[in-house]
């Protein structure tokens, strides 16, 4: 199920498998209307889809796609900065091989320390950048498919 207000996907089977908060057991028939509360925004989620609910879910999906695009852009920016910093780290590694010492790596010079710091920061930037890029692409694809289903009137809550 999707929240009509914020677009969050909720797994109703996971919610129903948890223990009930009622102190006594309640009998449910097939006509009982089940509603859930969205953990993100607090709005009621119900089965069935009215025209207004469809429009609200479409707006929420567009907002989620925009958030995914922002995540993708942040990830690609971090990837670019990480690659640039990695190139700088490689340059400082080459500079740490002193020609006056026979091109032997000197681990007690400033160039080597800059190489270590730049490498660590670039690996962190690349890791976070790849993560944000993948999350952005997956989210954008998921909500694009949801919008496609809403436009084709094939979406079932």
Higher pLDDT, 4 or 84: 84
> 37: helix, coil or strand?
strand
State how far the Cα of 47 lies from the Cα of 149, in Å rounded to an integer: 16
- What's the pLDDT score for residue 18? 66
Question: Which tokens hold the place of 2?
Answer: 């999707």
* pLDDT for the residue 110: 94
122 has a pLDDT exceeding 80: yes
Q: Residue with structure tokens 């010492």?
A: 101
Which one, of 125, 129, 145, 126, lies nearest residue 64 by Cα? 145
**In which band, very low, low, confident or very high, does the pLDDT at 28 lie, cut at 50, 70 and 90?**
low
Evaluate if residue 70 carries a pLDDT over 80: yes
pLDDT score for 50: 80
Residues whose CB falls within 8 Å of the CB of residue 71, separated by 6 or more in sequence, listed in order: 132, 133, 135, 136, 139
If you average pLDDT over every residue of the chain, what do you get?
86
Q: What's residue 19's pLDDT?
A: 64
Whether pLDDT at 1 is above 80: no
Q: What is the reported pLDDT for 32? A: 66
């Amino acid at each position: 199920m999707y929240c009509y207000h914020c677009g969050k996907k909720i797994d109703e089977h996971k919610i129903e498998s948890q223990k009930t908060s009622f102190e006594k057991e309640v009998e449910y028939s097939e006509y009982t209307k089940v509603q859930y509360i969205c953990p993100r925004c607090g709005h009621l989620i119900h089965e069935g889809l009215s025209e207004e609910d469809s429009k609200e879910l479409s707006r929420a999906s567009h907002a989620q796609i925009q958030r995914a695009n922002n995540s993708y852009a942040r990830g690609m920016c971090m990837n670019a900065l990480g690659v640039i910093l990695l190139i700088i780290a490689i340059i400082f590694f080459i500079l740490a091989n002193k020609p006056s010492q026979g091109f032997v790596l000197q681990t007690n010079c400033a160039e080597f320390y800059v190489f270590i710091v730049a490498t660590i920061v670039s690996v962190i930037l690349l890791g976070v950048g790849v993560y944000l890029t993948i999350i952005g692409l997956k989210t954008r694809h998921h909500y694009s498919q949801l919008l496609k289903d809403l436009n084709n009137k094939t979406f079932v809550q």
